[in-house]
Each structure stands twice: as structure tokens, then as C-alpha cells.
Amino acid sequence: MCGIFGFAGRASRPDRDFLKKAVDSFSYRGPDDEGFYLNADSTVGLAHKRLSILDLSAAGHQPMSDESKTRWTVFNGEIYNFLEIKEDLEKDGARFSSTSDTEVLLYAYKKWGSQCVSRFNGMFAFGIYNSKRGKLFLARDRMGKKPLFYALAGGNLVFASELKAILSTGFVPFEVDPSALNFYFALGYAPNDKSMIRGVRKLPPGFSMEFDIASGKAEVKQYWDAPAFEGPHDEDRALEEIEEILVDSVKKRLMSDVPLGAFLSGGIDSSLVVAFMRRVHNGEIKTFSVGFEGSSKNELRYASLVARHFGTTHKEIMVKADMGDLERISGLLDEPIYDNSMLPTYYLCRHTRQDVTVALSGDGGDELFGGYIHYQSADTARRAGKFFFPPLNLLARAVSSRLREGAFGKNTLAGIGMGEKACFTYPTQIFREGERQRLLSTPPGKTELMAPRLFRESLMNAKNYDYINQMCYADIKTFMVDDILVKVDRASMFNSLEVRCPILDYRMAEYSFRHLPGVLKIRGGAKKYLLKKLAGKYLPAALDLERKQGFDIPGDTLGGNKSRVPQRLLDFGPNEFVSRPFIEALARDQISGRGHLWHKIFALYFFLRWLEACRG
């Protein structure tokens, strides 16, 4: 796990100081080593910060070249099947000087060119400079575990693991993209290839780019997408296939030259990961859980139950939500995301890093197997749809519009009023169209205001999926990659910890969409039907498989009416992006206890704190 940066183009000439300034902006991503490469005429520069995981020797140093010194790479991530690829390459005469997967990456590119990415099973973002062809090749893994930002201007290309590295160079000015800001206040993140800064984009998951240095032109291609539904597998066969994939996925992710452990919440996903770690590993397994002092949202007893069942060395961390930590973390973010679990995830990573350098997690189970409440709500609405008719929809919509923000039942009535798909699209909007019209200092037009919902609906209608799988697909393309995985990447990297997600192995994603109909994900209103069946085979009988608690900050700890976050909103100075009167009214409503508005409060806080940090 590392941080990467690169530049290519003939209009400017980067030097070592330029490269170092960029990677120093995210030095926490690689505390073990750093490296720089400049070609002869300074039209290409690469820089790397290393967190050593495989081949801890100097042979794993980056930027790394092949034996001819014509191909150079900076690589962030892990290729879990690199030993199989290495064996194939050795049969063709390749000779390796390290035990690093980075060197395998280089020789795979040498043999297969841009098609090499289709052979990798892993999480990755990398750049490869090919001096013979005068091109720079970029790629990002299928599920979007590793970030990759880029900007094109004046015939030049710059790319980096984090947005702040690009900003630190002055390559693009600090100018907030109004479209991304609109999406942020609707969804809590800038989706797909958008970033919060105008002119900077994200390379989407499953995409690659080839940049021609002479012409300054870039070609972006998609090399992977979730497959179309081909036909259902029966329940017994599906259970066998899922188990086989997950066991192999866990096994591949135990590859490490540094201490390794696992997050353990006591939920289905992380518990299954630990169960299969125990199956394939007879030695010590270290597991880690976090809980908040004085909070009812505490699942440590379930995590402890699982840890005892599988004989892990378990560490429970009790923390107190601290405003100073929230200020520091939100100030480190390269762009704002609204996720109330950022702080507990940070605490979990911080304490885990004291014992291990790599941790496995259960991320991906909700998105691939139907674990969110909006899947359940949509399924319930669909089954009960025959009881709704247009006059009732209109009445529900009218009543909802008259209720104040935070009022009990407002979102439920709004969902009924807007139809069954609103059970998915409507609640995801933190600030709805009318609110964003008042919040944003330069309100977007009607089409832009509707964009978040239309964007989601266009994804939901993709391929030939049933309704549940449409929602799963939309989530892996938006919420998972631009919120969940960003949160985990930044929280772990702030602590120089690598996190691996076995459930997000691309083979699991392909199987889930190709052969699992919605009825094996949501059945009778129950979430994660098939995964619970698998859990029932291996997890302790005393574990409550039906519970679902969010991994977030207790609302009354930092976001409640007596807490500091609403008050902090009143301390931020005015700016040109959001309405000061709107924010003041919202904060005072929360402080006075007139509304349950903490999600809006936190969304505003993360944006304003990010803006404050960027402007110094």
C-alpha cells in the first residue's frame, strides 16, 4: 500500500522538488521509503511513497524499472495472484530480481500491454511509462479499492493517489466544481469520475488510460464491468460457489511479509472472513473491534463471541468520540465525503496499526448480497405495491412536503408519494432539490438539481438485472466506491495501514451479478438471505444474524443538540458556495432540539472543514 504521483507532457519540465512536494502531501501513505524518477528531458516524472508489505528489501523500491530501463512504474496496491502470473512469465524467459508483485506488474505489461490488467486479481492503481512508445499507461482495479485522480491541461497529464497532491503542485487552481458540489450535498460524495475540483477527475474502477506524450492526447477505456445476469443457480449450488470463492479469496489475501490481522465487528461479513481465515490458517489470528464509551451502539459482545469461537487473539478498543480527532481527520481529507463512520473507522485503524500492518475487512457484503435497508424497503414496497394507487401517492407526497425537516415519517411518506424506486433514490439525498436550491449560493438549474436521482436511476436500469440487483449494481458503482472505499482508504492510510477486502474479490462480484437473482439476496423482506444461510453453517449459534447496527458516531456524541459539531457550523466564516443564513438556521434548529438533523449537520461540517483546511 503506497502513494503514487506522476507527470507527463512537453509543455512543462518537472524537477525533483516538484515531485517531492506532491508526495509529501500524503506522506502517511508510505512511511517506509520514497523514490523519484525523471527521464532525460524531464518530460516525465514519477514519485512514490512506500508502505512495505511484500519484499521489504531495497529490491522492492519504486519507481521500478524493467531490466532494459525502458519501462518505469509507480504502483499502489496488491496483486494477489502475482505468483501464478510470475510462473507464466518465467516460462517465457522472464527473470526476476525481487519477490515483489510490482516487478511482476512490469513484466506483465511488457508481455501483454494494456491487456495485462485483465489478468490481475487485486486492488491497484498504477502508472507505467513506456519510453519506447512515448506513452504513459494508467489503470485502476475493477472494484475501485485504490484511488486514482488525474488532470489534463495544456497537453500535460498529472495523476496521483490523492487530490491534494495535484493541488499542491499548482497544476490546477483551487476551484470548486459546482456540479460536484451539488452531487455532494445530495449524495454525500462526488460520484463516478467527478472530483470536487474543476479540471480534476477520477479514473473510474475498471478503467485504464493511455496518454500520448507527443500529442498530449489521452484515451480512456473500460476494461471491466459487472456482467449481465445469465441465469439463476439454485440455492445449494450458490452456497457452494460462494463459499469456494470466499475461501480462496481469503487465502490469497493472507499473503504478506508483515504482521496481518482482521477487523471483527461481530456482523455477518467480518465474521465470515475470520471464519475462513481460521480454515486456511492454523497459526495466530489477531482480530480488532472498536466501541464508543457510553453508547448503546456497541457490538463488542458479538465480536468477542466470534473471536472466542475461532480462537483469535482479540483486542477490543473502547474510545470516546473526540472533536479534536474529527477536526484533524476532516482537515486531512483530500475532498469531502459525508460518512458518519469516518471517525470510528479511523479509531479502529489507528489501534489496529499498533499490532499489525495489514488487516482484512468484511466490506462489500452489503452491496453484493443485499444488506442495506433501502433494498429491504424497496422489496417491501414492491410486494405491497398493489395496495397503493395514485390518489394515495399524491396524498402521501403532500403530507410529507408539509412536515418539517427531521420529522418522524417524513421520508417514508415521501417514498410512498414518489413510487417504489424512491425507496432507493429518495432517502439517499441528504439535501433534496428544494433545500439545495436554498443552500447553494449559486443554485444549479432544474436539470442539475434532479441529476443525483436521475444518475442513480440510469444505473439501476442498466443490463438485464431484476430490481434488487439493479440497486446492488448502482451501489457498487456509486456509494461503495465513492464513499465506503474512500472512507476506508483514507482512514487506513492516515494510519499507514493496509486494508484488504476478500468479499470484494472481482470473482465474487461477477458471480453475484451473473447467477444470484434478487430473491437469493432479499427474501420475505429479510436482508442478505443467502449470506445468512452461509453464516449459519460456520458462525456461533448464539450470534444474532438478524441485527444490523450502523458503524457510526453516536448521534448525541458529536452531532446531537448538545454537541460541538452544530455549534462548530456557526464558527465557520462565510464563503461563496453555501448560504450562511441557511446554515445558521439549520444549526440552531439542531442545537435547540427542534429536528433530527445530524446527517445534514455532518454533511455541512465535512464540506466547510475541508474548505477551511484547503484555504489554510
For 88-139, how does the pLDDT look when each residue is reduced to its tens digit (9 = 90+)? 999 988 899 899 999 999 999 999 999 999 999 999 999 999 999 999 999 9
Q: Cell numbers of 196, please?
A: 470536487
Mean per-residue pLDDT, 418-427: 55
pLDDT number for residue 561: 44
Phi, psi (deg, nearest 5) at residue 314: -105, 140
Q: Is the peptide bond before 581 cis (omega within 30 degrees of 0)?
A: no
pLDDT number for residue 57: 82
CA-to-CA dists, residue 379 to 238, 263, 468, 474, 524, angstroms: 21, 30, 8, 16, 8
CB 392 within 8 A of CB 416: yes
Domains of the chain and CATH, by start? 2-222 (3.60.20.10)
Q: Cell numbers of 337, please?
A: 465525503
Mean per-residue pLDDT, 472-487: 95
CB 45 within 8 A of CB 19: yes
DSSP code for 116: G
pLDDT number for residue 20: 94
Q: Cell numbers of 599, please?
A: 446527517
pLDDT number for residue 444: 80
More confident residue, 15 or 579: 579
Q: How many residues does the chain have?
A: 616
Q: Which of 205-219, 288-302, 417-431, 439-453 has the lowest mean pLDDT?
A: 417-431
Q: Cell numbers of 13, please?
A: 519540465
Q: Rounded to whole angstroms, how far apart are CA atoms 489 and 74?
A: 18
pLDDT number for residue 550: 57
Mean per-residue pLDDT, 567-595: 89
Mean per-residue pLDDT, 46-68: 87
For 529-574, how does the pLDDT look when each residue is reduced to its tens digit (9 = 90+)? 999 999 999 999 888 777 655 566 655 556 444 568 888 999 998 9
Q: Which of 62-66, 177-181, 314-318, 596-600 has the lowest mean pLDDT?
A: 596-600
DSSP code for 205: T
Helix/strand/coil (H, E, C) string of 446-470? HHHHHHHHHHHHHHHCCCCCCHHHH
Mean per-residue pLDDT, 31-45: 92
Helix/strand/coil (H, E, C) string of 347-387? HHHHHHCCCCCEEECCCCHHHHHCCCHHHHHHHHHHHCHHH
- Which regions of 31-103 does DSSP assign to beta strands (E)? 33-38, 44-50, 64-65, 71-79
Q: What is the average pLDDT value for the chain, to the nearest integer?
A: 89
CB 373 within 8 A of CB 528: no
Whether 116 is catalytic is no
Residues 6+ apart with CB under 8 A from 183: 189, 190, 191, 194, 451, 452, 455
For the cut 60, the answer to whether the pLDDT of residue 419 exceeds it is no
For 229-284, how does the pLDDT look when each residue is reduced to its tens digit (9 = 90+)? 999 999 999 999 999 999 999 999 999 888 999 999 999 999 999 999 999 999 99
The amino acid present at 334, given as its one-letter code, is D
For the cut 80, the answer to whether the pLDDT of residue 427 exceeds it is no
Note the Cα 346 to chain centre separation in Å: 14
pLDDT number for residue 389: 54
DSSP code for 113: G
Q: Which one is catalytic: 2, 349, 423, 472?
A: 2
Percent of the chain clearing pLDDT 70 (strictly above): 88
**pLDDT band at residue 407 under the 50/70/90 scheme:** low
Q: Rounded to whole angstroms, how far apart are CA atoms 5 and 332?
A: 18
pLDDT number for residue 459: 81
Closest to 53 measured CA to CA, from 507, 506, 492: 492
CB 63 within 8 A of CB 72: yes
For the cut 60, the answer to whether the pLDDT of residue 487 exceeds it is yes
List the beta bridge partners of residue 260: 358
Q: Rounded to whole angstroms, how far apart are CA atoms 144 and 332?
A: 21
DSSP code for 350: H
pLDDT number for residue 463: 80
Q: Which residue has the cell 415521501?
A: 414
The whole-model pTM stands at: 0.93
For 135-152, how does the pLDDT look when each residue is reduced to its tens digit (9 = 90+)? 999 999 999 999 999 999
Closest to 124 measured CA to CA, from 103, 144, 99, 98: 144
